[in-house]
Amino acid sequence: MRVLFIIGTRPEAIKIAPVLHELQQARGIERRVLFTGQHQTLAVPFFEQFGIVPDVVLQAMWPGQSIADLTARLSSDLDGVLAQGLPPHLIVVQGDTTSAFVAAYVAFQHHIAVAHIEAGLRTYRAYSPFPEEINRQLLSSIAALHFAPSELAASRLRREGAQNVVVTGR
């Protein structure tokens, strides 16, 4: 099974690192890492600290760009990556960033399953925080696997109709 981890920000690098290390020893799983560059200077030191070497590095951020510009660039770049060679069977994203949402959306367009780490967090106020809250809700409608950090987050997902929900915290 080919699994592609999408990391765009420092928190994503920190939270995905233990999962990557756990899967290093897993048989039958070919894991790859794609770094979108959303937090270029903030994330790289954590890659070094955790021994993560991205297989693909995008340059998603430009000075002064809007979220719409970032979304468009990531959509195009990720579409190009997924169209090359052997696509992954599963894409893993973490949290509620633009990188996570766009990766999930592009994966959906390519008929690739999405696993969402830290799923089910909600404020139920679309613009608070912006764009994270809407990213969370949209990600949940796309993801095939939901890794919720608490039973409360899992119950929210189930109420929204999500299946394949796993509680990862207490």
Domain ranges of the chain: 2-167
Structure confidence at residue 139 (pLDDT):
97
The pLDDT score that the predictor gives to residue 149 is 97
Residue matched to tokens 């608070």:
128
> What pLDDT is recorded for position 132?
96
Q: What pLDDT is recorded for position 2? A: 96
Of the CA atoms within 13 Å of residue 76, those in its CB half-sphere come to 7
Helix residue ranges, H only, 6-146:
10-23, 40-50, 67-82, 98-109, 132-142
The closest alpha carbon to 8, from 70, 88, 72, belongs to 70
Give exposure, 100-120, as e/b (b: 16+ Cβ within 10 Å): bbbbbbbbbeeebbbbbbbbb
Q: Domain 2-167 is of which CATH architecture? A: 3-Layer(aba) Sandwich (3.40)
Which residues of the chain have a pLDDT value below 50?
Answer: none
pLDDT at 24: 85
Take residue 147 and report the two structure tokens written for it: 């890794």
